[in-house]
Amino acid sequence: MPDDLLAHNAKLIEEFRADGGRSMGDRPLLLLTTVGRSTGRRRTSPMMYIDEPDRYLVVASNAGAPADPLWYRNLLADPTVTVEVPGRTFQARATPLEGDDYDRTWAAVKDRFPFFAEHEERAGRPIPVVALAKAG
């Protein structure tokens, strides 16, 4: 990950934690912490989310890059993650959507947020959608 993106993400994480997400304005952001599949170290990534009953959805578009984002590869290796949304932190189970659930959800996501369709076209790969459901 480029240093400027790491610095940008670190600033977002700091602001989010300092003011409970209020500085994010109308951007629905959460913090997702995964365990590095190679290092075993905790890695936190800020990302847009979609709130659904009983789960949050995150999109592994990697801004249209040809490879999946590292956080996605990490949660495939260990689906137990930590989620921080304004006012709440909890353990969750990360599950990539499949089949009809994926098709229906991905179409709805692209309809609501057309830039994801652009990411998909640029990436040339299927864009994973991951459900984060509170553990236990």
CA pair distance 29, 11, nearest whole angstrom: 13
* CB 83, CB 56: distance < 8 Å: yes
Query: Which domain CATH number covers 8?
Result: 2.30.110.10
Range with lowest mean pLDDT among 10-24, 31-45, 49-63, 74-88: 10-24
Predicted local distance difference test score (pLDDT) of residue 22: 73
Q: Which two tokens stand for residue 22?
A: 């209020």
For residue 74, pLDDT over 60 is answered with yes
Mean pLDDT of the region 56-84: 96
pLDDT above 60 for 97: yes
Collapse the DSSP code of 24 into the 3-class scheme (helix H, G, I; strand E, B; otherwise coil) and give the result. helix
Q: What is the pLDDT of residue 3?
A: 64
Confidence of residue 90 (pLDDT cuts 50, 70, 90): very high
Token pair, residue 79, equals 């689906």
* pLDDT value at 98 more than 90: yes
Domains held by the chain: number? 1
pLDDT band at 24 (very low <50, low <70, confident <90, very high): low
- Report how far residue 67's alpha carbon sits from residue 62's, in angstroms, rounded to the nearest whole number: 7
Closest CA to 1 of 71, 61, 59: 71
Mean pLDDT in residue range 74-100: 96
User: Domain residues for 56?
Assistant: 3-134
For range 36-60, the mean pLDDT: 94
Q: What is the pLDDT of residue 66?
A: 96
Quick: pLDDT tens for 101-134: 999 999 999 999 999 999 999 999 999 999 999 9
Q: Between residues 122 and 13, which one has the greater pLDDT?
A: 122
Which residue in 94, 97, 92, 93 sits closest to 72, CA to CA?
Answer: 94
